Amino acid sequence: MTRALIHAAALGAAVLLLTGAAQAKEPSASCTSSVKEAGTGGYFSLSVENDVVGGTDRDYTTGTHISYLSDELDCTNFARSLGSVLPFFDADRELRYQVGVGQIYFTPEDTLATELVRDDRPYAGWLYASFGLVSYNDATPTEIGQMETLNIDIGVVGPWALAEEMQNSFHQLIGADESDGWSNQLGNEPGVAVSYSTKWRVIYEPIEDTNFGVDFMPHIGATVGNVLTDAAIGGTVRIGTGLDRDFGPPRIRPAVPGSSYFSEGGFDTYLFASIEGRAVGRDIFLDGNTFRDSHSVDKEYFVGDLQLGIAVMFDKWRVSYTHVTRSPQFQGDEWSTFGSLALSFNVGF
């Protein structure tokens, strides 16, 4: 376990060094014409998700993700050079890299049973490091905004993910019953998930002489890997002020895409409602381990999320809450509910 954590830390340090490097080359004309002067600063974000708001402790029960989104990258940055070789990714717009670490875990409904609960989902945890590129252009009343995200998560599923220790330590802290079935969790397995999403702001209509408006943002995305393979489509409607400052709050994947980035401004707030449908080819948390026998259930191949929420931005800070309702994920499952709280702050401006 210690060796795995050391490797993860070394990987994260290597990513930071690589993405901060610059290539000595002439910037492209398209890059220099579209990239703003750097200096708006990077962003730290913390997202915490839990099903306590639904009064349950089952299915997707807890998720935590901490990330850093870089300052705007100049035309000679190594990460921009990397993005430019991808035929489907526009690296000639505003571009930032993102690094982070996260952990999520799942439990069956009966967490007091010590024996294997065969007709319910497996106990499972996922601990991972992530690296991504975020390309975007800000929307105006006459221009469609777009945000593209390319991300890779690398980590481990199983006891090395430390989900048992995290959940039961937290339950001890709050005086709740410990989960007794973690001895039945999925086995250790290295995992990878490569994700791509794009989100458009196709309608942005502020009321004349005000900052209040309405927008609509459809999105598509896909993930490939032994942890998760799926394809998604959905949309978000927002109403409020400062809609041109971001693309919605961040979430822990799989989820409606959002942005750690938000532009400078005063006090703004908006309400939002989203829907997303996903076609699921593989979900290790339901299908079980890839390379060994393990507990599994018959997953649903089509899953949907409905979400409602609010975001508040003030100066260098943004806080949001998202209330998510998710359709059954396997045969015999029920609709589940969880909440997502996200805090982001800018280190520059």
What digits encode the pLDDT tens for the residues 173-187? 888 899 999 999 999
Could you tell me the CATH number of the domain that includes residue 263?
A: 2.40.128.140
Q: How far apart are CA 26 and CA 220, in angstroms?
A: 34
Q: What is the 3-state secondary structure (H, E, C) of 56-80?
A: CCCEEEEEEEEEEECCCCCCCEHHH
| Identity of the residue numbered 40 | T
Domain range holding 109? 2-18+54-346
pLDDT at residue 142, rounded to an integer? 59
Both tokens assigned to 238: 């927002």
Percent of the chain scored above 70 by pLDDT? 87
**Residue 2 banded pLDDT, cuts 50, 70, 90:** very low
In a domain, 341, yes or no: yes
In a domain, 36, yes or no: no
Structure-model confidence comparison of residues 33 and 249, the more confident one:
249
**Residue 68 banded pLDDT, cuts 50, 70, 90:** very high
pLDDT above 70 (res 22): no
pLDDT above 90 (res 138): no
In a domain, 49, yes or no: no
In a domain, 298, yes or no: yes
Q: How far apart are CA 133 and CA 168, in angstroms?
A: 35
pLDDT at residue 187, rounded to an integer? 97
In a domain, 211, yes or no: yes
**Residue 207 banded pLDDT, cuts 50, 70, 90:** confident
Both tokens assigned to 42: 């990077």
In a domain, 229, yes or no: yes
Alpha helices, DSSP H, located in the chain: 2-20, 29-34, 78-84, 163-174, 284-287
Give pLDDT tens digits for 162-172: 999 999 998 89
pLDDT at residue 18, rounded to an integer? 37
**Residue 82 banded pLDDT, cuts 50, 70, 90:** confident
pLDDT at residue 133, rounded to an integer? 94
Closest Cα partner for 62 from 176, 154, 148?
A: 176
pLDDT above 60 (res 30): no
pLDDT at residue 10, rounded to an integer? 39
Q: Give the number of domains in the chain.
A: 1
In a domain, 72, yes or no: yes
| Residues 6 or more apart whose Cβ sits within 8 Å of residue 309 | 249, 271, 272, 273, 320, 321, 322, 323, 340
0.85 exceeded by pTM: yes
pLDDT at residue 101, rounded to an integer? 98
**Residue 140 banded pLDDT, cuts 50, 70, 90:** low
Closest Cα partner for 278 from 296, 300, 252, 261?
A: 300
**Residue 79 banded pLDDT, cuts 50, 70, 90:** confident
Q: Say if residues 31 and 333 touch (Cβ distance below 8 Å).
A: no
In a domain, 147, yes or no: yes
Q: Say if residues 235 and 218 touch (Cβ distance below 8 Å).
A: yes
CA 122: distance to chain centroid? 22
pLDDT at residue 21, rounded to an integer? 35
Share the mean pLDDT of the chain.
87
